[in-house]
Amino acid sequence: MATKTKGRFVDELVDLKAGQISREIFVNEEIYAEEQEQVFTRAWLFIGHESQVPKPGDYFVSCMGEESVILCRGRDGALHVFLNSCRHRGMKVCRYDEGNTPVFTCPYHGWSYATDGKLVGVPFFKDAYHEKLDKSKWGLVEVAQMEVYKGSIWATWDPAAPPFTEYLGDFKMFFDLSLEAWNGTDEPLEVIGGVQKWLIPCNWKFPAENFSGDSYHNISHRSVDMVGIGPSGTGRRDTQERADSRRLQVSFPDRGHQTGIYVLPGGSPTAASYQQSPEVADYFREAEEKRRAIKGEWGRVTGSPGEIFPNTALHPRQPRSIAVWHPRGTHQTEVWRWYFVDAGAPYAVKDFLRQYYIRYSGPGGLTEQDDMENWNYAHSASRGTIARRHPYSYEQGMGSEQTNFELDGLKIPGTVMDLTEAKSSEQNLRNFYKRWAEFMDAPNWNELAGWR
């Protein structure tokens, strides 16, 4: 396995020894084009959730980078992810967001594809083609690998990419916080409402680095904290839980995944009061007690925002959602946000969460609006000829990371930054760009695995 230490991006445009990153990587159109090839055709990308396609013939149109793909459950129950482009002349085969179908018929000249991707219908096959077209060669283009992990569906175009669970590595235990039921079991989750989709005028890496763990931007959310949109009617999320916890940043340098976490104090959980409804409060209190009983010491760990490389953001604790930052050109990003609830939760709980989720996140959410305002203006103010000569600073907390971190006997994997004293660090942001630079420089997965 080859070991690399320096390249055009590693240590040059992304100079993590100095803690500086060139603005070019956000605004340069050639770099953007390279990124589509180097990052988005090789990394594992989030496609959707099993609860969106429960029955044979169900489909959900998703995206991988800039390209439209169809997530589909075949008549035999097997899941597939296909490029949403007709093999005849490229027409978008499926123009709906989701639905159920026995066959995808191309609107242009009428080729039709079965739910397993096979080309099954060609108009004038006998008269125009003299039955000579080899239909077995013209099925829909399918991803190289697809995996379902605890209900979440992932795919990559690269046959050489490692299996998804290996791609996750030890980050798995943190991702699980987003995918397990509120009581810590594998009881199913479901997507509530539709997937929210909207455009923002900035490069996709602005939101990706923010959700990697920008622990420094609380000033942006001051008004939301003051209004008290959280479950207990205080703060943004749950003020008491945060105040009593140890806040850590955790990152995985050889993977590019990173997250913030809260380690709650031992003993009985302090559940949010959910003051508007005792039924909702009881549900979460009982769930949290069960989670702590099942998970033991690990039950003290709860999640805050994180990022699976490259463009999937996690928000495991309330509001529980997954966002994907789809690149739409150098200067534009399309955000897709999925919201999750326990499938078996009573209506009152789902409705409470639905309302909380939309007042927190999404295009109308108060917290997400604060963030977007920053990303949009940061991007546009970085595009100019003079502006792009000056790098950004990512120096906060350099050299303060710890490995083999332990807290009252609880072992935390990965590289850890304790925010108790430091309050904030840019470790997780540096970690994201470290892996991004490696993807940009490495010609294949063999070398990607060798970067250290």
Residue 150 site contact among ligand FES, Fe ion, none (CB < 5 to 8 Å, cut-off depends on kind):
none
Phi, psi angles (nearest 5°) of residue 15: -100, 85
Least separation in angstroms between residue 252's CB and Fe ion is 22
Binding part of the chain for ligand FES, among 12-20, 81-89, 228-236, 268-276 by CB under 6 A, reads: 81-89
CA angle centred on 112, ends 107 and 113, rounded to 5° = 125
Listed ranges 14-22, 101-109, 187-195, 294-302: which one lies at the site for ligand FES (CB under 6 A):
101-109
Three-state SS at 352: helix
Residue 209 near Fe ion by CB under 5 A: no
CB 128, min distance to ligand FES, A? 12
Residue 154 identity: W
> Of 185, 158, 209, 176, which Cα lies nearest the Cα of 25?
209
Q: Which helix (H) or strand (E) holds 180?
A: none
Cα 230 from chain centre: 23
For residue 237, the minimal CB distance to Fe ion (Å) is 11
Return the residue of 88, 221, 350, 359 that touches ligand FES, per CB under 6 A. Answer: 88
Binding to ligand FES (CB under 6 A) within 336-365 occurs at none
- 95 counts as binding ligand FES under rule CB under 6 A: no
Site for ligand FES contains 200 (CB under 6 A)? no
CB contact set of 291 (below 8 Å; sequence gap of 6+) = 182, 183, 184, 299
Could you say whether residue 368 binds Fe ion (CB under 5 A)?
no
The stretch near ligand FES (CB under 6 A) out of 39-47, 83-91, 157-165, 314-322 is: 83-91
- Classified as helix, coil or strand, 222 is helix
Q: Does 389 bind ligand FES (CB under 6 A)?
A: no
Looking at the DSSP assignment, which residues form a beta bridge with residue 69?
62, 83
Cβ within 8 Å of residue 244, ≥6 positions away: 264, 265, 270
Q: Which is nearer to Fe ion, 371 or 401 (CB)?
A: 371
Contacted by 108, from ligand FES, Fe ion, none: CB < 5 to 8 Å by type: ligand FES
Tell me the angle at which helices 347-360 and 278-295 cross, rounded to the nearest 10 degrees.
90
Tell me if 117 sits within 8 A of 142, measured CB to CB.
yes
Output 112 or 415, the one with its CB closest to ligand FES: 112
Long-range contacts of 226-234 (CB under 8 A, 24+ apart): 227/366, 229/356, 229/359, 229/360, 229/366, 229/367, 230/272, 230/318, 231/272, 231/273, 231/274, 231/284, 231/318, 231/352, 231/356, 232/272, 232/273, 232/274, 232/275, 233/273, 233/275, 233/276
Q: Can residue 89 be called a binding residue for ligand FES (CB under 6 A)?
A: yes
Q: Does 106 bind ligand FES (CB under 6 A)?
A: yes
Asked if 426 is part of the footprint of Fe ion (rule: CB under 5 A), the reply reads no
Q: Is residue 331 close enough to count as binding ligand FES by CB under 6 A? A: no
Is the CB of residue 314 less than 8 Å from the CB of residue 259? yes
Binding partner selected for residue 371 from ligand FES, Fe ion, none, CB under the kind-specific 5 to 8 Å limit: Fe ion
Of 122-130, 365-373, 415-423, 429-437, the segment contacting Fe ion by CB under 5 A is: 365-373
Instruction: Answer for the pair 109, 128: CB distance below 8 angstroms, yes or no.
Output: no
Measured from the CB of residue 180, what is the shortest distance to ligand FES in angstroms?
A: 42
Tell me the sheet residues that pair with 301: 263
**Candidates 128-136, 157-165, 192-200, 366-374 — which segment interacts with Fe ion by CB under 5 A?**
366-374
86 is a site residue for ligand FES (CB under 6 A): yes
From the list 87-95, 162-170, 180-188, 262-270, the region that binds ligand FES by CB under 6 A is 87-95
Select 93 or 229, whichever has its Cβ closest to Fe ion. 229
Question: Judged by CB under 5 A, does residue 371 bind Fe ion?
Answer: yes
Return the residue of 26, 111, 171, 433 that touches ligand FES, per CB under 6 A: 111
Nearest distance, CB of residue 216 and Fe ion, angstroms: 10
* Smallest distance, ligand FES to C-beta of residue 385, A: 42
Burial letters 271-302, b for 16+ CB under 10 A, else e = bbbbeeeeebbebbbebbebbbeeeeebbbbb
Q: By beta-carbon distance, which residue lies closest to Fe ion?
A: 371
Identity of the residue, 35 or 209, whose beta carbon is nearer to Fe ion in the bound complex: 209
H helical segments located in 301-382: 347-360, 366-380
Q: What angle separates helix 205-213 from helix 366-380, to the nearest 10 degrees? A: 130
Q: Which residues bind ligand FES (CB under 6 A)?
A: 86, 88-89, 91, 106, 108-111
Q: Which residues bind Fe ion (CB under 5 A)?
A: 371
